[in-house]
A and B are shown apart, each in its own frame.
Chain A
Amino acid sequence: MSVPRWVMAALALGLVAGAFPRRADAQTADGTLARAVAALEATETERGVELLRQAIAAAPRATSSALRRNAEVYLAVASWSVGLFDSATVHFQAAIGADPFTTLDPEQFNPDLLAFFRAVRRATLVLGVRVPPDTALAPRTEPWPVSVAVARPGQVRFRLAGPGPDSRDTVLATATVDSTATVALALPVGGSVARAAGSYRLAVDYSEPRGRTAAATISLELTEQVADSLPHEPPPPDSLYRLEVRWGAPSRASLVRGIGFGVGAVAFPVLLANSRLRRAEGRALTVGAAVSLAGLTGYFLGRPRQPLPENISYNRALRSAWESRNRAIAAANERRRGVALLRVRVVSQP
Chain B
Amino acid sequence: MRAAVVGFALVGVLAGGASGQDPRSLLRLGAQAYDFAEYGAARAFLMAGLNPAAGPRDSLWVASVHRLAHILIEERKDSVAAVWLRWALRVQPGLVVDTVDFPPPVQDAFARARDFVADASSGDTLTETTWEWVRGRGETQSGLRIERSGVAMSGFVEGIGPLPAGETQRVAAGSYTMVVSAPDYFFRARVTREVLPGITTVVRFRLRGLSRQALGFLYVASTPWGSLYLDGERTGYTPVAARPVAVGPHRLRIERAGYAPFDTIVTVGRDQRLRLGTIRLRAAGSQR
Contacts and interface: CB of A to CB of B under 8 A. Distances in A.
Interface of A: 40-46, 77-78, 80-89, 107-113, 115-116, 118-120, 122
Can you list the 10 inter-chain pairs with the closest CB atoms, starting with the nearest? A119-B161, A83-B181, A110-B237, A43-B219, A85-B154, A45-B241, A110-B225, A81-B241, A43-B275, A86-B154
B220 interface: yes
A77 B239 contact: yes
A77 B155 CA distance: 14
A340 to B, nearest CB: 51
A116 B242 contact: no
Interface in B133-184: 154-156, 158-164, 179, 181, 183
B242 A83 contact: yes
Interface of B: 154-156, 158-164, 179, 181, 183, 188, 219-221, 224-225, 236-243, 275-278
Q: Is the interface of A mostly helix, strand, loop or mixed?
A: helix
Contact of A88 (B162, B183, B188, B220): B162
Given A83-B242, A110-B225, A110-B238, A45 B162 contact: no
B277 A41 contact: yes
Contact of B162 (A42, A44, A78, A116): A116
Nearest to B220: A43
A34 to B, nearest CB: 15
Contacts of A116: 156, 161-162
A107 B183 contact: no
Contacts of A115: 158-161
B277 A78 contact: no
A40 B221 contact: yes
B221 A41 contact: yes
B9 to A, nearest CB: 43
Given A107-B224, A112-B156, A116-B156, A81 B162 contact: no
Given A45-B241, A110-B238, A116-B162, A84 B275 contact: no
Interface of B is mostly: strand
Given A42-B277, A43-B220, A78 B225 contact: no
Nearest to A119: B161
Given A82-B241, A111-B237, A120 B161 contact: yes
Contacts, number: 89
B237 A84 contact: no
B277 A84 contact: no
A156 B51 CA distance: 46
30 contacts: A40-B239, A41-B278, A42-B278, A43-B221, A43-B241, A43-B277, A45-B241, A45-B242, A77-B239, A78-B241, A81-B221, A81-B240, A82-B242, A83-B179, A83-B181, A83-B183, A84-B154, A84-B181, A85-B154, A85-B156, A88-B162, A108-B224, A110-B237, A110-B238, A112-B156, A112-B237, A116-B161, A116-B162, A119-B161, A120-B162
Contacts of A122: 161
B88 to A, nearest CB: 28
A78 B219 CA distance: 11
A88 B164 CA distance: 11
Given A40-B221, A82-B183, A111-B159, 4 more contacts: A41-B277, A81-B240, A108-B224, A116-B156
B162 A112 contact: no
Nearest to B159: A115
Contacts of B243: 83
B275 A109 contact: no
A84 B238 CA distance: 15
A243 to B, nearest CB: 57
B241 A85 contact: no
A272 to B, nearest CB: 101
A26 B225 CA distance: 31
B63 to A, nearest CB: 38
Contact of A112 (B236, B276, B278): B236
A86 B167 CA distance: 12
B174 to A, nearest CB: 14
A2 to B, nearest CB: 65
A159 to B, nearest CB: 34
Contacts of A44: 275
